A = this chain, B = another copy of it.
Amino acid sequence: MAKNGTISASVIKRLPRYYRFLGELMKQEVERISSRELSEMMNLTASQIRQDLNCFGGFGMQGYGYHVRSLHEEIGKILGVDREFGTIIIGAGNLGKAIAMHINFETRGCRLTGIFDVNPRLTGETVGPIAIRHTDEIEQFCKENKPVVAVLCIPKANTQEIADRLVKLGIRAFWNFSHYDLTIEHENIVVENVHLGDSLLTLTYRANNNIAPENSGNGQEDSN
């Protein structure tokens, strides 16, 4: 396995996608795949794929292609899917509940252990196998269970404050869905800000440039 430190940030960004496609191929019981076939599936060039996958070892063999299971396993190791980072969700509104139900934490190196909400009426309600706890219990919970990942599904106004509080309790990674660009001023804290609104705006832009205004015929400035 390659030393992680030698893999560039742009390759890292593509790893989860490789991992997902390889997982699909395994489900379909595909044993091996050429860079050309993989490139067609993933809408990348074959040379891009060879270059990316070269970064972490020689799994591709001329005339044979990649061994799907080995490559999947190797990328999984690099990503850390074999970890079991204790994970808590802060905010049990529709979004928090959707994340809890919709995301398979276990296959991504995380284990969901707690869900918290400031609304006392939600306390005790269950989301899947987990009972919602009141936010007041976070300190005690973190002391006992030592989670390291927090998913923030709370209003923007409270984000920085609760993040600072969680850092003091040992949280080292934030998956942030609030509309606040979280920047933690501590060492060794990692943050992924998810801005769903930005994703919708990108779609709007592309639709706006693809879809002709009414009565104007087809647009000519197709920039995709």
Contact = CB atoms under 8 A, between A and B. Distances in A.
Contacts of A218: 188
A13 interface: yes
A201 interface: yes
A144 interface: no
A195 B199 CA distance: 11
A105 interface: yes
A63 B17 CA distance: 44
Contacts of A194: 196, 199
B5 A197 contact: no
B221 A203 contact: no
B149 A175 contact: no
Interface string A66-107: 000000000000111101010000000111011101111100
B202 A149 contact: no
A108 interface: yes
Interface stretch (A51-59, A130-138, A204-212): A204-212
Interface residues of A, number: 69
Copies assembled: 2
A157 to B, nearest CB: 12
A120 to B, nearest CB: 21
B109 A202 contact: no
Contacts of A79: 201, 204-205, 208
Contacts of A13: 202
A195 B23 CA distance: 14
A111 B146 CA distance: 43
A98 B3 CA distance: 40
Interface in A10-28: 12-13, 15-17, 19-21
A134 B195 CA distance: 30
A12 B209 CA distance: 12
Interface of A: 3-5, 7, 9, 12-13, 15-17, 19-21, 43, 78-81, 83, 85, 93-95, 97-99, 101-105, 108-110, 148-149, 172-175, 181, 183, 188-190, 192, 194-211, 218, 221-224
